[in-house]
Structure 1
Amino acid sequence: MQRIIYPILLLATFGCQSALAEAIQVSDQFTVKPVIDVTYGVFNSQKSYLSATDEGQKTWHEAVAKYGVEAEYQLAQGTAYSSLIGVTSGTFGDGDAAGITTGDERKTSLEQWNLGWRNGSAEEATIDVSVGRQKVQIADGFLVAGDALNFGQGVAGDALDRGGAYYLAARQSFDLTAVLHYQISDALKTHWYYLESNNKAQNEAKLWSADVEYHYAKSDLGLTYLAVTDVAEKDGLHDDIKDVALRVKTNVNDQLALAAEYVHQDQIQGNENAWYASAQYTFDQVKYQPTLGYRFSSFSDDYDGLFYGNTDAGFGTWFQGEVAANYSGPYSTNARIHQLSLQASVKENLDLGILGYQFDTINDAYGNLDGTEVDLFAVWSPTQNINVIPLVGFYKPKKDADYGGSQLGDKDTNTYAQLLLQYVY
């Protein structure tokens, strides 16, 4: 019981002492700000999936605390900045529904350090260069959204263990990065990246990427090139992959927004592809101004999703389906996915949403992960620093593990629930 209660007490303590976590003005030029980010999650899944050692219900808990400092120093020309952030994480209880964690994971490590310079404020700088260990997202995260795959001891013992907190993605920083953002004009921005991963579950891939964004009227166009230059095990995951991605976003009017992206992927054994197209309509004349959305996405048989993941956009970005994306599959490969969403802000500090999915397997030779899922969630922010996020999901596979699927025991509907408590300063 103590293991469960402690993260909640820690969260409450930080919430009561938020006044202590203020930026410190050391001098006219030098500012230091404490970083505090604590997340606790409790999870229950009525079903288990292929990597689990036994079928049936799983209940587990995850806790992540990030802590450190960020600093800025005003120079005669621009601003120098730096950060130093540690992370403590753990999984408790049964371990997750896919058996990726066992409940025995605990780890404290350095999560982030960086040194950077920009020629103005963070909002106005046209040149921003940084190096270090940090989270990097390329464009909208369809290819790279940090190094956030956090395996525990369930897959290969200690070999892939990053300290648990698999769902909460405790560790998201690349081991070494060099990043340059250069804004050529108000309409044209360029981004340059060199990234090294020390994540064994990602085959310790090294890559570089260039991204160009062009803004015209109410539309944004983007082009990304990415190349994996080295991996730990040749002919393994991510080896010698090259991606070219073209994306577009446009606001047709104040109500309707459209977006699409296409990725051509060059692999050793041939070419693969992935793409999506989406539309969102906001009923701004209706109470609560709900937004209705639809997205279709397609990932070819052997498409490699690289470092895709969750982004600040929240549920339903590139992890599609809380059960499907985290435990049962598909994992953004060999699938066509329909997503229907409805979200609304019913109060200034309360958002409600529902997400529906249909998953269709492209090539059954790799197994059949056809299924449907519905997720209902809320995001309540009782204070500026605290978020309370409950979610209930219902996942129904077409096949169970005995017939090419991934759900153990049967193909009945899995009822899944989670509650996240978060304090962020």
Structure 2
Amino acid sequence: MHRVNCTLKSTVYNLNHQVNHNNRSAIIRSPVISEMETPASDLTELGKDAMKRLSTRLNIFRKPTALIILCVISAMSQAVAPQEEQMDRSGDLAYRPIFSVDLAGISVANNLFGRDRQRRGEHATSWYESVVNFGGAGFWDLDKSAVWAEVSVLGISSGGYDASISNPDSKYVNRLELHEAVVGWQSGNMFDMGYNAVNLAIGRQNYRVGRSFLIAKGGADGGKRGSLWIGPHSSWYNSATADIDINKNASVNVFYLSRDDLPYSDTHLAGINTDLKFGDNWLFGAIIVDVFASDDKDRRNTFDASVRATYNADNNPGWGMDTQYVWQHRGALNLQKNAWFTEGSWNFGGPFSPRLSYRYASFDNDYDPLFYSSTTWGTWYQGEYLGQYILTNTNLASHQAKLVMAPSKEWTLSVLYYYFLANTANGGQLTDSFEPVTDPAFAQEYNLIADWRPTDTMKLSFVGAITAPLEGATQWTGGSKTVEYFLLIFSYDF
């Protein structure tokens, strides 16, 4: 579904890995959905019908680039997915191609509670996003260790204003750019700690730490880069990482990362993360991060220290728990801030395998959320409308209730409810307001998500969201209309 682990050790070293190259499409790869063989003809008709209905609904697929991508997807859907990894071997050298396509059609009614043109200068109703990622990965066996490398390129096309109006001067985007260019070394059987216990990498790569609460997304999307929802710019501009498995119950990650944003902020950070497993159920972690350089003067010299814990029961039904706390010192502003969340869940077992959870999350005013990203629906983009486009994880408190069930091997349904509040009514991201925000109650959001995975290479997800403003949102925007949001995303991963 997604790379919860922070490292690349499962990405390139085993060349049978189906690589995730963006953060958003990774969401729909749900672990509770099993693979199922589906006739290619059925996939073709289903894919064509879905895209036809979406095109009619949104009336957005009129640009030549989008039509070309649709043709590519239709052609791919007529081919049976390979059962073995697409890998060629020549002596001690192995290599495989990288190819994936993501296509999203999105519509919104009453954007920004009916006030987007007045507040952002443009009006969003519908838009499309498409991303093609292609390249190759190589693996060289050095007897007791190995060297690997990966290079890939993004082809991006998007059209229309997104819901955040991040692209007022770039309504249509068509661009080709480097995604990953990374080389690494893995220890193989060189050390007694275990196979590939040490993994080193340097270059432009994807890299996540812990639960993606702090360090996950290396680049920025939207604006002149397009494809804000798909979010293909996940790799860091430059990096040097070391991932060490001390034993089967302990690991350490040491990293240097530089941010790939636009305009380029020359942001550099370094840190260390550790994970400790106790028994079969408990996982504890800690991380420190130092943003030691940045052209963003408010972000410069930001230091984070964080601890986290996770519990998952062996039995089903059974309960689970996840929590994390962050202490942050913002040196440039001489501020100390906090962020934390706690989540409890219950797996019911039985038919549909329903899982019910509740989470409370809090982020101080003037807290810097750094570079979080997605791990599942609702984490850590909170709300498919508000969290994706309007709010960031600062000066915010949220209640989330979530129900996930799997009616069949191919389908997963998720229902989410949010209640959002401001920790400081007229502070942080709510300062630029239509009128002074005096009520911390901001909005309620309801999400309904259906994921369909007919094969291990094809995914289709439908997302519907309704967002109702409370007094705080009305004061901030001047609008009082309920937002209706719809998304359909198709993903193919070779």
TM-score (norm 1): 0.90
For structure 1, the residue ranges without an aligned partner over 5 or more in a row are: 153-160
Question: Shift of the alpha carbon at 1:120?
Answer: 2.6
The answer to whether residue 404 in structure 2 is matched with residue 343 in structure 1 is: yes
The answer to whether residue 484 in structure 2 is matched with residue 415 in structure 1 is: yes
Distance 1:62 1:377 in 2: 19
1:107 alignment partner AA? R
1:362 alignment partner AA? N
CA contact (8 A) 2:219 2:259 kept: no
Please give the secondary structure, in 2, of the residue aligned with 1:378.
strand
Distance 1:374 1:202 in 2: 35
Question: Shift of the alpha carbon at 1:124?
Answer: 4.2
Aligned residue number for residue 320 of structure 1: 382
The answer to whether residue 225 in structure 2 is matched with residue 146 in structure 1 is: no
The answer to whether residue 289 in structure 2 is matched with residue 221 in structure 1 is: no
Aligned residue number for residue 50 of structure 2: none
- Higher percent of residues as helix: 2
CA contact (8 A) 2:269 2:292 kept: yes
Aligned length: 404
Question: Shift of the alpha carbon at 1:206?
Answer: 0.3
The answer to whether residue 350 in structure 2 is matched with residue 304 in structure 1 is: no
For structure 2, the residue ranges without an aligned partner over 5 or more in a row are: 1-61, 431-436
Question: Shift of the alpha carbon at 1:400?
Answer: 7.4
CA contact (8 A) 1:111 1:171 kept: yes
1:102-251 alignment, distance < 5 Å: 102-120=170-188, 124-152=195-223, 161=224, 163-200=225-262, 203-217=265-279, 218-233=281-296, 235-236=297-298, 238-251=299-312
Which of residues 333, 336, 341 is equivalent to 1:276? 341
Please give the secondary structure, in 2, of the residue aligned with 1:391.
strand
1:144 alignment partner AA? I
CA contact (8 A) 1:47 1:97 kept: no
CA contact (8 A) 2:340 2:361 kept: yes
**1:313-372 CA-partner distances (Å, limit 9, x unpaired):** x2111000011112222x111011000000111111111111110001111122357101
Aligned residue number for residue 31 of structure 1: 94
The answer to whether residue 158 in structure 2 is matched with residue 96 in structure 1 is: no
Distance 1:227 1:400 in 2: 34
Aligned residue number for residue 355 of structure 1: 416
Question: Shift of the alpha carbon at 1:404?
Answer: 3.5
Question: Shift of the alpha carbon at 1:199?
Answer: 1.1
The answer to whether residue 143 in structure 2 is matched with residue 82 in structure 1 is: no
Question: Shift of the alpha carbon at 1:24?
Answer: 3.2
Change in Cα spacing, 1:21 to 1:199, as seen in structure 2 (3 Å) is farther
Please give the secondary structure, in 2, of the residue aligned with 1:410.
coil
Distance 2:266 2:69 in 1: 31
2:326 alignment partner AA? V
Distance 2:101 2:344 in 1: 34
**1:30-61 CA-partner distances (Å, limit 9, x unpaired):** 11111111000000010223563135x51000
**1:158-179 CA-partner distances (Å, limit 9, x unpaired):** xxx3x20011112111010001
Question: Shift of the alpha carbon at 1:6?
Answer: 2.6
**After the TM superposition, which of the residue ranges 141-150 and 338-347 deviates more from structure 2?**
141-150
Question: Shift of the alpha carbon at 1:99?
Answer: 0.6
Distance 2:266 2:122 in 1: 30
CA contact (8 A) 1:148 1:309 kept: no
Q: Which has the higher contact order (CA 8 A, sep 6+)?
A: 2
Distance 2:366 2:270 in 1: 22
Distance 1:376 1:76 in 2: 51
Please give the secondary structure, in 2, of the residue aligned with 1:347.
coil
**1:152-202 CA-partner distances (Å, limit 9, x unpaired):** 1xxxxxxxx3x2001111211101000101111221110000001131367
Question: Shift of the alpha carbon at 1:149?
Answer: 2.5
1:287 alignment partner AA? P
**1:75-114 CA-partner distances (Å, limit 9, x unpaired):** 1121211101000112213x10121124222210110011
2:78 alignment partner AA? C
Instruction: Note the aligned Cα RMSD (angstroms).
Output: 2.0
Please give the secondary structure, in 1, of the residue aligned with 2:67.
helix
Please give the secondary structure, in 1, of the residue aligned with 2:238.
strand
**1:282-324 CA-partner distances (Å, limit 9, x unpaired):** 111x31110001110000011101000113xx21110000111
Aligned residue number for residue 157 of structure 1: none
Distance 1:418 1:52 in 2: 22
Distance 1:252 1:83 in 2: 37
Question: Shift of the alpha carbon at 1:140?
Answer: 1.1
CA contact (8 A) 1:221 1:247 kept: yes
Aligned residue number for residue 393 of structure 1: 465
Distance 1:21 1:214 in 2: 34
Please give the secondary structure, in 2, of the residue aligned with 1:184.
strand
1:370-385 alignment, distance < 5 Å: 370-385=442-457
**1:125-157 CA-partner distances (Å, limit 9, x unpaired):** 2100010101110111000112242131xxxxx
Change in Cα spacing, 1:179 to 1:15, as seen in structure 2 (3 Å) is farther
CA contact (8 A) 1:151 1:201 kept: no
Aligned residue number for residue 353 of structure 2: 289
Please give the secondary structure, in 2, of the residue aligned with 1:144.
coil
Aligned residue number for residue 158 of structure 1: none
Percent identity over the alignment is: 21
Aligned residue number for residue 493 of structure 2: 424
Question: Shift of the alpha carbon at 1:411?
Answer: 1.4
Aligned residue number for residue 267 of structure 1: 330
Distance 1:146 1:194 in 2: 14
CA contact (8 A) 1:377 1:391 kept: yes
Please give the secondary structure, in 1, of the residue aligned with 2:111.
coil
Question: Shift of the alpha carbon at 1:203?
Answer: 2.8
1:128 alignment partner AA? N
Change in Cα spacing, 1:215 to 1:400, as seen in structure 2 (3 Å) is closer
Please give the secondary structure, in 2, of the residue aligned with 1:419.
strand
2:186 alignment partner AA? R
CA contact (8 A) 1:15 1:385 kept: no
CA contact (8 A) 1:278 1:296 kept: yes
Distance 1:200 1:23 in 2: 35
2:144 alignment partner AA? Q
